[in-house]
Structure 1
Amino acid sequence: MSQASTPHKPRKKKRQLVRSNTLTDIAKLEPGSDTINPEFNLVSFLLPARGKSQWISIPLILIFTGLFRWTVGVWGYSGQGVPPMHGDFEAQRHWMEVTQHTPVSMWYFYDLPYWGLDYPPLTAYHSWICGKIGTLINPEWFALFTSRGYESQDLKVYMRATVIISEYFVYVAALIIFIRHYSRSQGIGTTAANTVLVAILMQPATMLIDHGHFQYNTVMLGFVIASLSSIYANRPLWSCIYFVLALGFKQMALYYAPAIFAYLLGSCLTPRLRIGRLLAIAIITILAFAAVLAPLTAGTLYDLYRAFDLPYRPPPPFLAQRRISLDPSTPLGAITLQLFQTIHRIFPFARGLFEDKVANFWCTLHTFYKLHNLEPYIQLPRLSAYFTFMSILPSMAVTLSNPKPSLLPYAFASSAFGFFLFSFQVHEKSILLPLLPLTLLLCSKKGLSKEYRAWVGFANALAVFTMFPLLRRDGLRTPYTVLSLLWAWLLGLPPLSASCYYDPDLPNVPGRPLAPDELRTPTKIFHWWFYAVMGFWHLLAAFAEPPETKPDLWVVVNACVGCAGFAVCYGWCTWKLVLESGLLDEYFEYTEKYLEGLMGGDGDAADGKDNENDDTIVVQSPGGEKAVAKGRGKGGKKRR
């Protein structure tokens, strides 16, 4: 007797995410035909690759953008041929020298007046690795003391290569993964995602600073992108680890800390209290910091065990001012001294409020009112802390109350702009931090619309403009001009294109309702006014000498113009954060209903008469929603 067979249950097919094939915001279809008209030049380059495998498209993009990085590296770098201190290139080379030839206990103590190490431990480990590899190639590059100010073509090639390799391993890899996650969550297609990838990799400010001026900012920025990508992949613990790595590489990642802290805390409080998630985040964060500090503390203990004859290491000011004495010959004393000295070097509160002519609030205010006049009344670092806290409070409050992953780029940009404008010891290069999340918005659903391209392009153009005095000293005028104009041409931005501000398909009629992605007239005037000012400033800097009594006049004007523009960019990011959070949706709905009730005529239905002169009023909220209200014209009831 045969046993009855159980009915076969087919295996459920894994649900596949369907990618959008639309070309919204990047191309237009001609009516009645299949002809595609790209909105801007970058789309024209990438449209032929539409439908091709990503295994072909992405490597070609990376090769294309990598060539520009190598080309920028051919030009000068910070401090080239300018003894005795040279510049950032020499600082990075010197750290590779120090980490090679001195005990770990001396890394943050060794010859501090000459480019003493003042970045977190992960930078020191990175310098140690690069120095080890470089020493195998040519020991003269990093010989202790005798290599100071060493300049040669082969050393330049090696140092440039370390920047590119580090960037591609961390920044580029994280960016590709982030765009994959973020574009899927926003529902944009592959062509648009590749367009954003090229736009971000061709960002002129990042290339000019890291591959021209010479730094490793993209490593830190790459860890930040990896942290964001982990959130979109619903892996908050990995997000904590990556963000700690960003902090461990450069302390400037603190610009983003309030936003990500508010998001992670908010995700533990809403929609319900999740104690387990909160404890897991706290424990993982502490363990990640411990892992970053472990090699430094282990090296300190190893030096103590080997009984190295170390020179006297003075206690950092925090301990000296409180007359706290430590015995560096004991494990506890050695580790405590090392950690406090590391913190002292990373956070240089002994320096001034700002460094050089930087386009932030304090430098601009100092131009018109000397800040040292305030010192008898309030400490400037404390005043800076007050202003910084107030500037980051909106992004923290919105993200804490509404922890949506889609809000993080806005929150990161708002927080970073607040730090750049008001915090302590800001450099010109710090503008890269708000630029990153702002440029990542190109990957959002509205990212390639005219409005977003205009604002992202404006902020990037303004950032490169404020860096020009620094880049000019490094001999980078030509890369500055080529990359800035190329990026503007690719994305349809001024001064080479006005496609973000003008649409020939829309009628030029006064009172016409705005298109969903169209900029308002005051915004257009504001942007173009700034572009005109930047162009005029370049003419002054090129052909007019400043007064002898004020040799830095053009540089100060540059900083003031940049500060005003960045303040408006901060306001735009914060306003968009509030709008996208939905906190004002009820207000806009109430306003629209109120206007409908205020302007709507109720006499037509009652008297049955046709009104030939009805007026139609279109009310558009900043989010793009429209409400239509009809009012009475001649022969009807008066509007109240």
Structure 2
Amino acid sequence: MFWPIFVLMSGVKLLFVPAYHSTDFEVHRNWLAITHSLPICKWYFEDTSEWTLDYPPFFAYFEYVLSQIAKWFDPEMLKVENLNYASEATVLFQRLSVIVTDLIYALGVKMCLKPLNLNHKHEKTIVAALLLANAGLIFVDHIHFQYNGFLFGVLLLSIGFMLREQFLMSALLFCILLNLKHIFIYIAPAYGAYLLKFYCWQRKQLFVNLLKLLVIAFATVAVSFGPFLDQIPQVLSRLFPFKRGLTHAYWAPNFWALYNFADKTGSIVYKVNRNESSFTGGLVQEYDHNVLPTIRPLATFIITAVFMVPCVLKLLFGSLNNKGMDFIRAVVLCSTTSFMFGWHVHEKAILMTLIPLSLLATKNINDCKSTIFLGAIGYYSLFPLLFRPELLLVKVSYYLAYMLLSWICLKHIHRTLHLNIVEILYIFGLSSLLVYEHCVQYLIGFDKKLPFLPLLMTSVYCALGVLYFFCQYYVRFLLNTEIVHRSSKHKHKTK
């Protein structure tokens, strides 16, 4: 059933070709033009558009390869000066490029299925469906417009090789991934700790195997950054633009959303407003807090590192019930830690937690519940990306269908799948956010007086749920609980 699901989902994605697309569509069109029209020495200096190239070199090479095909669709899209160019042929090409490169994602999913040691073909089908029909990727890639499916495909290929104990291949793919999009460095501690323990220490060739890993890392970086050796400061300034501020224009639902909300509330209560600029202004730039201490990049780095330490120590020195599954859990925790406390986190980064977590949904009842609970929050938190009125029915319908099918399929596998009453009430509370945003605010006139309020409510409410998941999942990982409940009707007999 794997490939029929992939073909079916490719057909669904084709339906979104003429749909609304965000400014990210122009971002990637501009990168096509830059890599196709300019010599490589100018790629990271070009600034005709405000959407300058700010991904690592491997992604720039990826755009260059795509541009060689794009010229057969419409060569005008490959002119740097053609800002906001979006002919029908351009839209068709860019949409198709996302759909076609999703093949890497499909291969990554398939690579992970066998080493997960799923007990029955139904479980493989369910995991495949959860990942291939992922609501977040539909929203972010095929409507909003990005290439996350391709990137997560490389991640899943790397995880698949890790589960098969093909450590060098896993390390190579992860190094390639880091040079495609450096945000995946968030999960590097999980990779480093796991490779150190199971590839270096346990194989009793610490220095030899460590040297092999270092050679892979340095060789990958050399291939990636070699052509830009004389402009490394410029490239790094593009990759790490710390002047963008603590939070994005729409706050990701993390700890800093709660922090901003507390500061905003405090400034109202104490009538403090030292800054004319505000986190609720909708602009991407640095702001100072009014009541609470202003957070700087170094502080977020330190906090993130501190919260990752227990997870890394657990991988290195703790007992693991199932080392492969616990590696995935460590990836989930490292990504969630960075999501919660990182600098200028985008809401889309929640997918870095949700996609690896989905691999475990049929293996363990607790992971299953976490997948359902965080999925309900995480996918809903992406709704503000699809803000056009005509997309309301599309996003709500797909969200509900995906969550309902996930529940039914996973209920088929596990004996019980009951969230506690607080979790259930919390999930149903998401509907009140939708009602306020699309109905109540217009009835009471707040759409003009407080235009940022729906975003603030969504971000803060979802942040509470993500924080709850993070604390619960972290404690469970450290306590090493491994509870597997299966319905008796799924205890398959062998003849």
Provide the TM-score with structure 2 as the length reference: 0.85
What is the rounded CA distance, in whole Å, between the counterparts of 1:289 and 1:374 in structure 2? Answer: 42
Moved over 6 A (4+): 374-378
Per-residue CA shift, 1:533-589, capped at 9, x if unaligned? 101111111111236442211210100011111111212332332244x7xxxxxxx
Q: 2:404 aligns with which of 480, 485, 489?
A: 489
Can you give the 5+ residue segments of structure 1 that lack an aligned partner in the other structure? 1-56, 79-86, 298-334, 504-514, 583-621, 626-640
2:369 counterpart of 1:454: yes
Aligned residue for 2:489? none
Q: For residue 378 of structure 1, report the CA deviation from its aligned partner.
A: 6.8
Aligned residue for 1:466? 381
The answer on whether the counterparts of 1:579 and 1:623 sit within 8 Å (CA) in structure 2 is no
2:301 counterpart of 1:385: yes
Q: For residue 532 of structure 1, report the CA deviation from its aligned partner.
A: 2.0
The answer on whether the counterparts of 2:253 and 2:460 sit within 8 Å (CA) in structure 1 is yes
Aligned residue for 1:233? 164
Q: 1:349 aligns with which of 242, 252, 268?
A: 242
Per-residue CA shift, 1:339-373, capped at 9, x if unaligned? 22111111111220111122111122112216724
What is the rounded CA distance, in whole Å, between the counterparts of 2:96 and 2:214 in structure 1? Answer: 37
2:31 counterpart of 1:95: yes
The answer on whether the counterparts of 2:360 and 2:368 sit within 8 Å (CA) in structure 1 is no
Q: For residue 377 of structure 1, report the CA deviation from its aligned partner.
A: 6.8
- After TM superposition, the structure 1 = structure 2 runs for residues 20-99 of structure 1, keeping only pairs within 5 Å, are 57-78=1-22, 87-99=23-35
Q: 1:550 aligns with which of 429, 450, 456?
A: 450
What is the rounded CA distance, in whole Å, between the counterparts of 1:141 and 1:548 in structure 2? Answer: 37
Aligned residue for 1:106? 42
Q: 2:262 aligns with which of 335, 345, 368?
A: 368
2:87 counterpart of 1:152: yes
Aligned residue for 1:407? 326
Q: For residue 427 of structure 1, report the CA deviation from its aligned partner.
A: 0.8
- Is 221-230 or 106-115 further displaced after alignment? 106-115
- After TM superposition, the structure 1 = structure 2 runs for residues 208-219 of structure 1, keeping only pairs within 5 Å, are 208-219=139-150
Per-residue CA shift, 1:305-358, capped at 9, x if unaligned? xxxxxxxxxxxxxxxxxxxxxxxxxxxxxx33x222111111111220111122
Q: For residue 136 of structure 1, report the CA deviation from its aligned partner.
A: 2.5
What is the rounded CA distance, in whole Å, between the counterparts of 2:160 and 2:42 in structure 1? Answer: 37
Residue 153 and residue 478 in structure 1: after superposition, are their counterparts in 2 closer, same or farther (change >3 A)? farther
What is the rounded CA distance, in whole Å, between the counterparts of 1:151 and 1:73 in structure 2? Answer: 12
The answer on whether the counterparts of 1:374 and 1:380 sit within 8 Å (CA) in structure 2 is no
Q: 1:177 aligns with which of 111, 121, 143?
A: 111
Aligned residue for 1:44? none
What is the rounded CA distance, in whole Å, between the counterparts of 1:280 and 1:261 in structure 2? Answer: 13
Q: For residue 113 of structure 1, report the CA deviation from its aligned partner.
A: 5.5
Can you give the 5+ residue segments of structure 2 that lack an aligned partner in the other structure? 265-286, 486-495
- Is 542-551 or 477-486 further displaced after alignment? 542-551
The answer on whether the counterparts of 2:381 and 2:458 sit within 8 Å (CA) in structure 1 is yes
Q: 1:264 aligns with which of 176, 195, 200?
A: 195
2:430 maps to amino acid: M
Q: For residue 453 of structure 1, report the CA deviation from its aligned partner.
A: 3.1
Match of 1:165, SS?
Answer: helix
Q: 1:255 aligns with which of 186, 189, 193?
A: 186
Q: 2:221 aligns with which of 282, 289, 305?
A: 289
Aligned residue for 1:311? none
Aligned residue for 1:538? 434
2:56 counterpart of 1:124: no
1:156 maps to amino acid: V
Residue 486 and residue 377 in structure 1: after superposition, are their counterparts in 2 closer, same or farther (change >3 A)? closer
Structure with the higher fraction of residues in helix conformation:
2
2:132 counterpart of 1:196: no
What is the rounded CA distance, in whole Å, between the counterparts of 1:284 and 1:415 in structure 2? Answer: 22
What is the rounded CA distance, in whole Å, between the counterparts of 1:231 and 1:266 in structure 2? Answer: 13
Q: 2:70 aligns with which of 134, 159, 165?
A: 134
Per-residue CA shift, 1:428-486, capped at 9, x if unaligned? 1111111111111125x32xx4x443321221121121111121148532331121111
- Higher Cα Rg, which structure: 1
What is the rounded CA distance, in whole Å, between the counterparts of 1:363 and 1:223 in structure 2? Answer: 30
1:418 maps to amino acid: T
Provide the TM-score with structure 1 as the length reference: 0.67
